[in-house]
Structure 1
Amino acid sequence: MAALQEACSELNRKPSERTIRTILKEGGARPRRPQSVEDRHNDPLLRTRIAILFYWECLEDAMIVDILAAEGWHMPLSAFVRMRKKLGMKRRLKQSEVDRREAEFKRIIKEELDEGRLSGYGRNLLQAHFATKEDRMLLLGRDRLFKYVKELDPIGLYNRTSSFTRRRGTYTTPGPDFCWSMDAHCKLEDFGFQIYAAIDAETRYILWIYCGPSSRTMVSVLAQYGRAAAHYGRTPHLIRVDKGKETLLLADGHFQHALRVRGPETTFTECFCFGTSVRNVRIESWWQQMTRAGLGQWGDYFRRLVKEGQYSKASKMDRISMKFIYTPMIRKQLQGFVRTWNKHKIRRQRNRPHVIPGRPHVLYNYSQRPNQGDPIDTEYIKALNETTKGWKIHEYLPKTTIEFCKDILRREGFPSGRAAPANFVQSLGKEEHEIAYARLRYRLRQLSDGEQASLEETLAPLGGRKWKPTSTSDEVLDLYKEHAEDEDQLLELNELFGDMAQLDFEGDGVDEEAAPEEFLPGLRRGLGRRGRLNPPLAIVQARDVRERMNQS
């Protein structure tokens, strides 16, 4: 219509829209019918995207419509609801159906409780957990689901409510990627498991979590940061960590990147903030949630093994047995909780108005507030990742050692060479994983000295990487010295920094495997992330925010 009117205007004729419609109708033209729900139903890409948003990300209808519109599929809410129902995606079951299947629902919940996966879960975490694990559980209302858990595990519910703590100190940030809060979880270090994670302070979105034998080394933390920056395509305006020496290379690396993308006038305190773990409230609060959700049970179990003489940190065979049996289990549990956390709904809190309600992954990926992160300098991040690619970040034991342990378990009656997942309800005796650990430990200890020596562990890259001290690094080190807790830590920092220029961490020439899903738990699937990088706030406003954070 518009094109025809424009053509007529070029001929100095201005027919009305009604005249044009009459001419088109007499010529046999018909108005184009808008795409119907049936037409959209036949689009496989759209069907797949809706299934991901509905089942995997557990979003409400209105949010799904907004996301689809941003990605090019426009439809009113009512049309989407009709399409969703035609695809068989229901929101609720009829009450009669719920009553009929009550025993089935309780059986599924009981299995999850027995495996220790629901410890400390509230209503929203429960709903997010079951929504993706069991499609049919998505049809169960949040309150009814919590009611079943309350009936099946009243003691666990009591322990959850009695363990609540109120954290002091709050702060707000101007948008996503303004501040990444990073910290290590040290409760399982004595057993060979080091855990490190980062959370976006604005949205509570878990950016990554790492479990391995060497998370608290300078190289490991730097490698995690570099891979996350490459994955998300941006770095935060500010990083907040504690005073551990493992963040020295991270501080220098992030500072030099900020100098490249913001300009040489950038100061260290404008992009890096460190203090005590108690003040790092975002990640510390999340560690409490993680501990209540099942991680704490591992500590209790491992301490029992030590008390019974079944594990000694000084024994190489014990360390290998522990890592082989339990690293995959702990990683799986951590990733399951991260996925649940990023999808669960944070409620609006009347007494804590600074808490932003919503689902962390939606708040992070589809925020209505300007993103405060810095676009990455691709060449710099690539070079940074090249320096650590020789160390395989996800390796917990060498492949030869893993295959040797699998062969032993196969001969001991475990066909897959692995034990079943942990189940902490041990009323029927020892669980399969504990039996597998005991047998593997016994067989490894029976090996000759030569055979034991041939079994290797994956050691932490304690030597640092090829890193030449610069004036920038000197500034970072001086700031760390100011915050050294005692003379021993100061001497250790001087020794570490003095050795960096002489120690190499070379790659072995082998391309590193792509970072698996469990390291960077982004929940978007199929299509790329929406949203463009917005420039950071004015430096004066950013400084005000940092001052409030330091005072909290």
Structure 2
Amino acid sequence: MLENMDLRDQIKKYFSSGFSNREILQLLKECHEINISNRSLERMLQRMNLYRRINKTDELGVANYIQQQLSTSGKLHGYRWMYHKCWMNGMIVSRETVRLILRHLDAEGVDLRARNRLRRQTYFSRGPNFVWHIDGYDKLKPYGIAINGCVDGFSRQLIWLHAYSTNSDPRVIAGYYMNAVSERQGCPHKIRIDMGTENIHVADMQHFLRLHGGDSQGADQSVISGPSTGNQRIEQWWLTLRKECIQFWLDLFDCLKGDGNFADSDLDKSLIQFCFLNSIQVRQQCGVGSLMLFFLVFGNPCLGLPIL
């Protein structure tokens, strides 16, 4: 149970992220085991001077922000994603207002997203941190930028997501893994990896940490390897990442190449890394923050970590 001060901080964080009262109550119940009434929540919001209908951000200011986002990777966002980004940047605005502004400023993009229909495959995981899915993303690799990520199979929480000059060095991937284990004070029951050499150190570390797990999933059974096409959870995440972020950078770099400003040399790749690597990492993390909060309400909440 959270103390009163921590409870107010959590409520303020969720309110500032754009969640409704119903969604805040669900988050408190699922993630913090706190059950309060809607009236109690309203009183706490009033005492903290948090109102949705008072001191709303001027619609012109919201429109200017959305217009700015549409000139970057934000042009790939739907109105729900854009709504959370507005709130995360300190704007008080309704979801309907964001939807109408986005329809006015980017009608073509709204229509394209409306026609996109996805048929999802069935996926099952026993619980939080049972399986971590690890994979590299190479769409930007021709331009010198490689991405590596890890997703919890049950909650879809991003364990890590890093843009760097390589994602094929096993020492680099092992560093990502050990940082995550250290931060969470434990490791997953299993990891799902591809059969590439970049994952050999991660597999060895997982084997060692699960050597005395005391269950049927320990030691050699704690690592699942196979083709990239079978790594379903992380492959689904790459589709989301490309749609919401990476496609913008692909179009930008393709334009540079088409204009003769990129010759596929080591020097040009180094210049791309120098100019854009940090921006790509920051854009990714901003999008991840919105997505994780979204999944807490509409997906499976991340409940805890198995400490072995």
TM-score bucket (shorter structure): 0.7 to 0.9
- Picking from 261, 267, 288, the partner of 1:338 is 288
Does residue 1:144 correspond to 2:144, yes or no? no
Q: Distance in 2 between matches of 1:161 and 1:46?
A: 38
Change (3 A) 1:66 1:164: closer
* Counterpart in the other structure of 1:89: 50
2:83 paired with 1:127 = yes
* Partner Cα distance (1:201, 1:45) in 2: 29
* Cα 1:136–1:314 shift into 2, 3 Å: same
1:236-280, Cα deviation, whole Å (9 max, x unpaired): 111112222211111121012111333799452x21112222221
- What are the superposed Cα offsets for residues 117-170 of structure 1, whole Å, 9 maximum, x if unpaired? 241x23432332222113323xx1x23322321221011123323444434x32
Distance 1:81-1:69 versus aligned 2 partners, 3 A rule: farther
Identical columns (%): 21
Structure 1 match to 2:307: 375
Among candidates 248, 259, 264, match of residue 211 of structure 2: 259
- Asked whether 1:210 is paired with 2:174, we answer no
In 1, Cα distance between equivalents of 2:58 and 2:287: 27
Match among 35, 55, 69 for residue 112 of structure 1: 69
Letter in 2 for 1:309: G
Pick one of 198, 218, 243 that aligns with 1:292.
243
Q: 1:228 to 1:46 in 2, by over 3 A?
A: same
Q: Which amino acid aligns with 2:275?
A: I
What is the CA distance between 1:233 and its match in structure 2?
1.5
- What's the offset of the Cα at 1:83? 1.9
- Secondary structure of 2:263's counterpart equals coil
Deviation per residue, 1:435-471 (Å, 9 max, x gap): xxxxxxxxxxxxxxxxxxxxxxxxxxxxxxxxxxxxx
- Relative distance call for 1:254 and 1:304 in structure 2 (3 A) is same
Contact 1:125/1:340, CA 8 A, preserved across alignment? yes
Kindly indicate whether the alpha-carbon contact (under 8 Å) linking 2:140 and 2:146 is maintained by their aligned counterparts in 1. Answer: yes
**Paired residue secondary structure (1:127):** helix
Distance 1:173 1:67 in 2: 18
Aligned to 1:29: none
The partner residue of 2:279 within 329, 334, 339 is 329
Measured in 1, the distance between the counterparts of 2:32 and 2:152 equals 26
Alpha-carbon spacing, 1:64–1:164, altered in 2? closer, same or farther (3 Å): closer
Q: Give the aligned partner of residue 280 of structure 1.
A: 231
Provide the residue aligned with 1:223 in structure 2.
175
Q: 1:176 deviation in Å?
A: 0.6
The correspondence for 2:124, drawn from 164, 172, 191, is 172
User: Within 1, Cα distance between the matches of 2:29 and 2:242?
Assistant: 35
| 1:359 shift after superposition | 5.0
Scaled by the length of structure 2, the TM-score of the pair is 0.86
SS at match of 2:74: coil
Question: Is the CA contact 1:184–1:195 (under 8 Å) kept in the aligned structure 2?
Answer: yes
The aligned amino acid for 1:189 is: K
Normalising to structure 1: TM-score of the pair?
A: 0.50
- Where do residues 30-69 of structure 1 align in structure 2 (5 Å cutoff)? 47-56=8-17, 58=19, 60-63=23-26, 65-66=28-29
Q: CA RMSD in A?
A: 2.9
Match of 1:433 in 2: none
Q: Deviations over 1:271-326 (max 9, x none)?
A: 1112222221211111111111131121122122223332233343x233211111
1:193 pairs, out of 140, 145, 149, with: 145
Larger fraction in helix? 2
Which has the larger displacement, 255-264 or 224-233? 255-264
Q: Tell me if the contact between 2:140 and 2:250 (Cα under 8 Å) persists in the aligned partners.
A: yes
Question: For residues 112 and 260 of structure 2, what CA distance do their matches in structure 1 show?
Answer: 29
In structure 1, give the amino acid aligned to 2:285: Q
Counterpart residue identity of residue 331, structure 1: Q
Match of 1:158 in 2: 111
Alignment partner, residue 234 of structure 1? 186
Contact 2:73/2:249 (CA < 8 Å) preserved in 1?
A: no
Deviation at 1:107, TM superposition (A): 2.3
> In structure 2, what is the Cα distance between the partners aligned to 1:54 and 1:161?
28
C-alpha change, 1:174 and 1:130, in structure 2 (3 Å) is: same
Greater Cα radius of gyration, structure 1 or 2 = 1
- 2: distance between equivalents of 1:109 and 1:263? 51
Q: Secondary structure at the match of 1:134?
A: coil
8 Å contact kept, 1:194–1:213: yes
1:466-500 CA distances to partner (integer Å, 9 max, x unpaired)? xxxxxxxxxxxxxxxxxxxxxxxxxxxxxxxxxxx
For these two proteins, the number of residue pairs brought into alignment is 304
Question: Which residues of structure 1 form unaligned runs of 5+?
Answer: 1-39, 347-356, 377-552
Alpha-carbon deviation of 1:54? 2.5
Q: Give the Cα separation in 2 of the matches to 1:241 and 1:325.
A: 31
Local SS of the residue matching 2:62: helix
